[in-house]
């Protein structure tokens, strides 16, 4: 532990907040596959936030394109590559 760290670390507490709030909600994902799907969506949403992309805008766009998109080219719709295509990076 760092002796110089502040006792009230608000940055860390804000980062952990959504995990704590969602903990009880995640009991109702249904089964292992539901939990895995929820983890993927939450991971994509957090990545979008880290890249300053609106997660809703990203997910709506990707969901519309997903059925007609080539499975060999899935990397192009990951958040970082998507943001390049839409002028965010």
- More confident of the two residues 21 and 78: 78
Q: Tokens 């992309």 correspond to what residue?
A: 53
What pTM value is reported for the model?
0.68
Quick: pLDDT tens for 38-88: 888 888 998 998 899 999 999 999 999 888 888 888 888 999 999 888 876
Local structure of residue 83 (DSSP, 8 states): H
Is the model's pLDDT at 18 over the cut of 80?
A: no
Q: How many CB atoms lie within 10 A of CB 19?
A: 10
């Amino acid at each position: 532990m760092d002796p110089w760290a502040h006792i009230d670390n608000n940055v860390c507490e804000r980062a952990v907040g959504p995990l704590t709030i969602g903990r009880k909600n995640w009991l109702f994902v249904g089964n292992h596959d539901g939990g895995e799907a929820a983890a993927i969506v939450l991971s994509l949403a957090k990545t979008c936030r880290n890249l300053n992309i609106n997660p809703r805008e990203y997910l709506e766009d990707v969901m519309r394109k997903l059925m007609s998109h080539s499975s060999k080219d899935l990397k192009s719709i990951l958040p970082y590559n998507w943001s390049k295509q839409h002028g965010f990076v």
